[in-house]
Structure 1
Amino acid sequence: MADVRSLPIPDGLEGERVDAALARLFGLSRSRAADVVATGDVLVDGKTVAKSDRVHAGAWLEVTLPPPPAPPRPVAEPVPGMGILYEDSDIVVIDKPIGVAAHPTTGWTGPTVIGGLLGAGHTVATSGAAERQGIVHRLDANTTGVMVVAKSEVAYSRLKRAFKERTVDKGYHALVQGHPDPLRGTVDAPIDRHPSGDGRFAVVAGGKPSVTHYDTIEAFRAASLLDINLETGRTHQIRVHMSAVRHPCVGDLAYGADPTLAARLGVTRQWLHAVRLGFEHPTQGVRVEFESPYPDQLARALELVSADQP
């Protein structure tokens, strides 16, 4: 059933575009807000508006919000190249390949970790939303490396708590452009959705607290290999923070990377790999740690950039 809302435009939205105002008021993406405007279901002082029109404080807003789409369900089919690093009755630790999302989302039609596990005969916990059962943390679709999925309900609840309480060691290697100064440091900057509404994220005042620690492993002429540890786990966190300090991950064109360098190194996605994951086993009470080697594309790019020395 459609959801009809009527309210005055708050003072804080004075001068905002209609689509931006809807996004902020109702938690929509900018693209979904624009779709609602396009249907004619948005009235300001009784008149239809365009998405680029500006709103004024105190104007009367009437919106008919369509029902949210049903969440996509995982498709159980094996995922080529998705290796199993460890498995017991409580957890399964995978080596996630490129082009695989953690779980189904609206608009994603590619393979998923959950679908791959189910398709290969593995069980996962039933806790969590239907489309992300067993998922306690995520990697971007084009970020590779170590990821743990809960198989039992107790593992799900304890691992979710461990990630929330930041007792999990999430270690990444990233090849970034240039040379960070200082060579070791911390990026502490809040992250939220990019104002453009195009799916990217950005450092935004009032965003969610986000902390990234980095240490330079080796500096090359055009790039630096970093060891990165996350305190928080925001979407695209490493990519956003490295771009914010003007050292985007090599190949990360969405966040400002040089396409010429990416092409020269044969990198078709961000050079970012989850190399290690350490946590207390949810039922055995011992600390466990898992590691993943670089995929071939990233290893080859590292060879090329290291050979390109003065």
Structure 2
Amino acid sequence: MPKKYELQVENEYGRLDKFISEQIPDLSRTRVKELVKEKEILVNHKVEKVSYKIQAGDKIEINVPAVKPLDVVPENIPLDIVYEDEVVIVVNKPQGMVVHPAPGHPDHTLVNALLYHTQDLAQSPEGFRPGIVHRIDKDTSGLLMIAKNAKARESLEDQLAHKTNKRIYWAIVHGDFGEENGVIDAPIGRNPYDRKKMAVVENGKKAVTHFKVLKQFKGYSLIECQLETGRTHQIRVHLDYIGHAVAGDPLYGPRKTLKGNGQFLHAKVLGFKHPRTGKWLEFTAEPPKIFQDTLAQLEKASE
């Protein structure tokens, strides 16, 4: 059901989004920003920016449309839950699983599995990705944080935006490195020649990936990547850009590569401040069996 609110301001205050989220607990600052963008929030009968400074005497009208019906069906799919409490879940997503429904992938997603596991997931305006704060690609395995309510979603999204969380990946890549570590700072946007791909482009969004070489084999290397930003396909695009495509990557890698179930990329470490307590939480998940077996084979071939 849609909801309407009216707030009469008695004293000067700070930002519009902060004020509303504190007055109406059901609305996170992220949701307020979305409503402002959709012109569903008026200040003195006018649309204002989320940064508008509240003044004494302001009248705020808020219209919250009904959330689009969630047509995602809960499915009894096993989940590898690393951590769960009343506001957040950390899950180790298997390789081959899509995070949320999309054209071509209407079901059998992580969201379908989460909805079967719990009804406590933060709503999303689109309806098809409740609880989802960030994503990893279908054939990338590893750790994801899931929000169970609006406040948790806002906190986790703010940590992503301000780069205060921790995300470390392991990747098996093509080639040998002449350096032990490095930083790839190259903007990423849609590939102008292939809309299915991303690329390093001049007018793209800022993207920064830090990498460290953990081990080198014959023709391949095991590296650790730490994300500073979170662009679509960022690690895959950046590593291809410097000539070290992720092994097994069907989109950005060479045809002659390691046999597997897609790219050898795993979200190994995830750290963030707990949305309610502020305590730092950090989790580690070992790569899937095919990743570990491939490392053992590369080790043996390099002896």
* Same fold per superposition (TM over 0.5): yes
Deviation at 1:71, TM superposition (A): 10
Q: Which amino acid is 1:191 matched to?
A: I
- What do residues 166-214 of structure 1 show as CA deviations (whole Å, max 9, x unaligned)? 1110110001011233220011111111123341111111001100000
Taking structure 1 as reference, are residues 256 and 227 closer, same or farther at Cα in structure 2, changes over 3 Å only?
same
> Whole-Å Cα distance in 2 between the matches of residues 125 and 177 of structure 1?
39
Structure 1 partner of 2:80: 83
Taking structure 1 as reference, are residues 163 and 114 closer, same or farther at Cα in structure 2, changes over 3 Å only?
same
Uncovered stretches (5+) of structure 2, i.e. residues with no partner:
1-67
Equivalent residues in 2 for 1:39-188, closer than 5 Å: 73-80=71-78, 82-188=79-185
> Whole-Å Cα distance in 2 between the matches of residues 83 and 293 of structure 1?
12
Is the 2:91–2:144 Cα contact (8 Å) retained in structure 1? yes
Is the 1:154–1:282 Cα contact (8 Å) retained in structure 2? yes
Q: Which amino acid is 1:179 matched to?
A: D
Structure 2 partner of 1:293: 286
Q: RMSD between aligned alpha carbons?
A: 1.8
Is the 1:128–1:135 Cα contact (8 Å) retained in structure 2? no
> Whole-Å Cα distance in 1 between the matches of residues 264 and 234 of structure 2?
14
> Whole-Å Cα distance in 1 between the matches of residues 195 and 243 of structure 2?
20
Q: Which amino acid is 1:152 matched to?
A: N
Q: Counterpart of 1:114 in 2: which secondary structure?
A: helix
The percent of aligned pairs where both chains have the same amino acid is 37
Uncovered stretches (5+) of structure 1, i.e. residues with no partner:
1-69
Deviation at 1:247, TM superposition (A): 0.5
| Residue 299 of structure 2 is aligned to residue 302 of structure 1 | no
- What do residues 267-305 of structure 1 show as CA deviations (whole Å, max 9, x unaligned)? 221000000100101101110001111101111111111
Moved more, 227-236 or 177-186: 177-186
Structure 1 partner of 2:239: 242
Q: Counterpart of 1:130 in 2: which secondary structure?
A: coil
Question: TM-score by structure 2 length?
Answer: 0.74
Select 1:270's aligned residue among 263, 266, 280.
263
| Residue 194 of structure 2 is aligned to residue 197 of structure 1 | yes
Q: Which amino acid is 2:167 matched to?
A: K
Deviation at 1:257, TM superposition (A): 2.9
Q: Which amino acid is 2:272 matched to?
A: F
Deviation at 1:78, TM superposition (A): 2.5
Deviation at 1:72, TM superposition (A): 8.4
- What do residues 228-271 of structure 1 show as CA deviations (whole Å, max 9, x unaligned)? 10000001000000001110111013102343x313xxx22100
- What do residues 26-65 of structure 1 show as CA deviations (whole Å, max 9, x unaligned)? xxxxxxxxxxxxxxxxxxxxxxxxxxxxxxxxxxxxxxxx
Taking structure 1 as reference, are residues 188 and 116 closer, same or farther at Cα in structure 2, changes over 3 Å only?
same
Deviation at 1:125, TM superposition (A): 1.0
> Whole-Å Cα distance in 2 between the matches of residues 71 and 244 of structure 1?
41
Structure number with the higher helix fraction is 1
Equivalent residues in 2 for 1:200-279, closer than 5 Å: 200-259=197-256, 261-263=257-259, 267-279=260-272
> Whole-Å Cα distance in 2 between the matches of residues 72 and 179 of structure 1?
48
Question: TM-score by structure 1 length?
Answer: 0.72
> Whole-Å Cα distance in 1 between the matches of residues 69 and 206 of structure 2?
28
Q: Counterpart of 2:128 in 1: which secondary structure?
A: helix
Deviation at 1:110, TM superposition (A): 4.8
| Residue 278 of structure 2 is aligned to residue 281 of structure 1 | no
